[in-house]
Amino acid sequence: MSDKLGSHQYYKNYIKGQFIVEFNIFQLRNVKDYPNNIKYRLICTDIRNNRKILFDNHKPKGHHYHIDEKEYLYNFISEIKLIDDFKQLVLEHFGVIL
């Protein structure tokens, strides 16, 4: 996959001693399983109770997100919108501003 990999962004942070936030975003080139040329995993975990907000797009499921154990389809538009949507859900469910 190295010839298919464009750029990679990685970010990890601990917030308020309670939350772990991690972004893993790969820009891809011509990968059949990722027609939007992006592979991602954005997660915020509350380490006190293991609640989570997770956006990812692994195959075969495609774009989707999790709120705790529930899973929902996600309409991917752009990387910027993805990050904004993730931040909004983290704020709504954990009260944390990213």
pLDDT in tens, 7-49: 999 999 999 999 999 999 999 988 888 989 999 999 999 999 9
Confidence of residue 5 (pLDDT cuts 50, 70, 90): low
Please say whether the beta carbons of 44 and 19 come within 8 A: yes
Domain boundary assignment for the chain: 2-7+28-94
Q: What is the pLDDT of residue 17?
A: 96
Give buried/exposed letters for 5-44 (b at 16+ CB in 10 A, else e).
Answer: eeeeeeeeeeeeeebebebebbebeebeebebebbbebbb
Ramachandran sector of residue 89 (left: φ over 0; alpha: ψ -120 to 50; beta: rest)? alpha
Helix (H) or strand (E) holding 8: strand 5-15
Q: Supply the pTM of this predicted model.
A: 0.91
